Structure 1
Amino acid sequence: MAVHRTKSSQRSSPEAEKLVSDAISLAASGSQVEDRFWEERLTVRLMRLLKSQNQNVIDAALDQTFRINTVAFEVLADTAETLAESLKIEHENQEWDVLLIAMPIVAHTRYQIPSGPLQTNMIEATAQALHSSIAATDARLAIVPWLYSIDQMPHSHCQTRILMEALASAAICAKEVKLELRDMSETIAVLADPRFIIAALSAPSGSPIFKWQEESPARQERGVSLIGWQTAMHEPVASMLPGCEFELLLPEAYFTNCRLADKHVRPLSIRAGVNFLESTLGILPAGLSCVVGAFGEEQADEYRISFSAKGSSEVMYGVIWPLYDRESVSSDALNDLSDDESPIKKICDALHDAGVEDVFRHAMLFDPELCDDCGAPLFPDRSGEAVHAEMPEDTPTQQPLFH
């Protein structure tokens, strides 16, 4: 997905350089008049790339601005996301605003988290809950009849724009959503993962799309909308996700909610892993030892957490804590706990909250290696080697893959 950071190995191009230049100019602007000038330039360039499906140029520009100017990166990332997840379209001499929204379900289990086609009653329940708790009075909607795993979501700005355009007319005209959903990728089985229902909300341009945009008495604050949404959707989701514990997040713009759900699931992945090891091997959390290391090519792209039995050097399980575009860690702060907002501090807090007391942190940056045979990620051991995580031979055979 486009919410994940790109790789600095990508070559720059004239088109990417122009994007970077416009983003830096917009970030440095000191007036709204100048803002509008650079915004128009940036929008035209990005729309040209989105229409031609030239995601590589967008990624290269994002990567370059991320490394040299974080304010310009935010400007470029926000503009690209806005153009991918929203549009204006004319229908019967009326201009409409359309926004792609994601409805995250953050779930964890000891078994398997379902994904796949949504039944008609689930689509109807979702539509009713959206109208009653989220969508503005005059808003119209179209729901994709699929429960997405993260592996099945659009993986770029260009792919997101294609989905947005496919849903726009269905939302405005209240038509059936027609998408080819048979060739979805396989869902990777993990213990904690978000699931998403995706929809398009539309409203006449200039009109509210969400209830919290409306005037009184129709106006409803976000917190009230969230409670109403969670109440209305709890029973339908519970029947759709048997054996799972879950939390429903507020339906919001696509990219914002993809990031929010991904971040929300990270501590749950640790807790689910600890629970899995306790239920499968009978090892209490206090009997576990964890090693945490940062992994990436030139910068930390993720942390990998190894689980071992206390007193053993054998890594038997692993969890990945990915970092996203708006998160960065300097090379001299990979294991610094002084910043409460740093990823390593959040990881250690999540481990301690799950009952793990023995946590070892590496200060080095590991290469993001995968197993040559099976493609599984390698995890750090205490000696500083990246190794394959292997459950004991007498472990029950039905296991989830690593998160």
Structure 2
Amino acid sequence: MRRSSKSSHNRLSADSQRLVTAAQGMVQSASRLEERLWEHVLDTLLHKTLKGNHQDTVDSALDHLFRSDLAAYDALMEAVEAGSESCSVEHDGVQYHALLIAVPILAWTRFSIGSGSISEDMCTTLGAHLHGHLLAPDARLALLPNLYAIDQLPRSHAETFSLVQRLAQAAVKGTAPRATGNAPETAPFLADTRYLLAAVAAPAGKALFAWQADLNPAGREHALERWRKQAAPNIASLLPGCGVELLMPEAYYVACREADRQIRPISIRAAVHYLTNALGVDPTGLRAIVGGFTEDPSGERIDEYRIGFTLRQNPEVVYGVVWPLYGQEDDDEVAENSFEGLTSPEVLDSDLRTPVEEITALLRACGVTHIKRHPEHFPMEFCDDCGAPLYPDADADLVHAEMPEDVASNGGHFH
């Protein structure tokens, strides 16, 4: 979903204004030739800005367009992502184009989901699978020897730009890249995403991926099937005690967004499974309370849903799941008018129209029959002490999710 950078600056710098002007020029172009000219101007400005680590310049331009011109905002955001996840490098007189890719892994468990360094042998094995099933014949690869949680990934476009530049050099030179510095500790979740990061490079004008080399877009699905079949046992060994699902390795930002979407239903299923086992109840003994949360209380947009779980006979919220919204996802009046009807088991996947409908159908499929939705929008509030999201209870109060003390001592450190 679109997000404002919340910049506190009301006045744009000259460099930010140039980015705004170029993005608006692209949107207003009346021909492809004119659009390409503006695109070149924008790409050149962004390369200089990101190389100089001037993330504030980019953020200010995005914030301004988010408030004033959404079409130009989308154009600038697309250009920023493309400019920070790809680059051109030269080696032995040959010009290469390189792309930062993410390899998303969905994982779920009652215990802990691993992250951190992986062995050289495992990197070699996974690199061979990527070459064998996904990459074009002339493509070169540099795979980082780490398994990353989402909060260990680059935190800005400028950091992503720096990373792809370093990995691209390793790819074209055939050297093994070193892991990034000490990664921060990651919060434990019942379901979460892990990532492998790599740069793929090929001579300018040559294909990066196998389906490009074959001029066959349908080859993507076959490549994904082969990747899942061959690489899954190796990746599962990196995440003992976890269920895993492999998603398509592709361009960094696209892969991360798709993983964010795909982990949401798994999070709900994992929560219900964990609670029924930890609390010794059937799913019908749980109650789910759904609330829409927004960063702009004065607006109509919902940024995420939060689902608080309680026992049917107890008002305390014992666990919570966050369902963020992305892209054009949003609720409309249909969702509010039809919500009560969603509590019938006849709701089918093909009937789902909104995120709240999908959440409700998932809960019912997991056996949770008592579901309450608050119609009001809540502010995005978090615990002052630990930073955890606050969840709505049955009375529409925002509270901390806390497992009962006798359960928490048995490894229920997920909240």
TM-score w.r.t. the length of structure 1 is 0.92
The 2-side partners of 1:107 and 1:161 are apart by 28
Aligned to 2:259: 261
2:164 pairs with 1:164: yes
Aligned counterpart, 1:311? 313
Secondary structure of 1:394's counterpart equals helix
Instruction: Classify 1:64/1:312 alpha carbon distance in 2 versus 1 (closer, same or farther; 3 Å).
Output: farther
Could you say which residue in structure 2 is the equivalent of 1:375? 387
What SS is found at the alignment partner of 1:395?
helix
Offset from partner CA, 1:78-117 (integer Å, 9 cap, x none): 1111111101111111110101000111111111111000
1:331–1:365 Cα contact (<8 Å) kept? no
Q: Is the 8 A contact 1:334 1:363 kept in 2?
A: no
- Taking the aligned partners of 2:335 and 2:66, their CA distance within structure 1 comes to 18
User: How far off is 1:198 after superposition?
Assistant: 0.6
Correspondences of 1:3-402 after superposition (within 5 Å): 5-8=3-6, 10-12=8-10, 13-14=12-13, 15-181=15-181, 183-215=182-214, 221-298=219-296, 299-324=301-326, 326-327=327-328, 329=330, 335=336, 340-397=352-409, 398-402=411-415
Matched position secondary structure for 2:188: coil
Report the residue type matching 2:42 in the other structure: L
Percent identity, aligned pairs only, is 40
2:193 alignment partner AA:
P
Deviation at 1:264, TM superposition (A): 0.6
Compute the RMSD of aligned alpha carbons: 2.3
Q: Which moved more, 1:310-319 or 1:291-300?
A: 291-300
CA distance in 2, matches of 1:303, 1:219: 35
User: Which amino acid in 1 is paired with 2:54?
Assistant: N
| Secondary structure of residue in 2 paired with 1:199 | strand
Other structure's SS at 1:19 match = helix
Q: Which amino acid aligns with 2:294?
A: G
CA offsets 1:45-79 (integer angstroms, 9 cap, x no match): 22222122122232233334344444323211111
Unpaired runs of 5+ residues, structure 1, are none
Cross-structure match for 2:345? none
Partner of 2:342: none
Q: Which moved more, 1:20-29 or 1:355-364?
A: 20-29
**More deviation, 258-267/279-288:** 279-288
Measure the CA separation in 2 of the matches of 1:82 and 1:334.
35
Aligned-partner residue type, residue 318 of structure 1 = G
TM-superposed CA distance for 1:9, in Å, is: 5.4
Displacement of 1:180: 3.7
The one-letter amino acid of 1:105's match is: I
CA contact (8 A) 1:191 1:400 kept: no
Amino acid in the other structure paired with 1:95? Q
- Alpha-carbon deviations, 1:259-307, whole Å to 9, x = none? 0001110111111111110110012222211111122331433221100
**What's the TM-score once normalised by structure 2's chain length?**
0.89
SS at match of 1:78: helix
Question: For 2:280 and 2:287, how far apart are their aligned partners in 1?
Answer: 14
Distance 1:41 1:395 in 2: 59
Counterparts in 2 of 1:59 and 1:332: CA distance versus 1, 3 Å: farther
Q: Distance in 1 between matches of 2:264 and 2:68?
A: 28
Rounded Cα–Cα distance in structure 1 between residues aligned with 2:148 and 2:212 = 28
Contact kept, 8 Å, 2:331 with 2:355, in 1: the verdict is: no
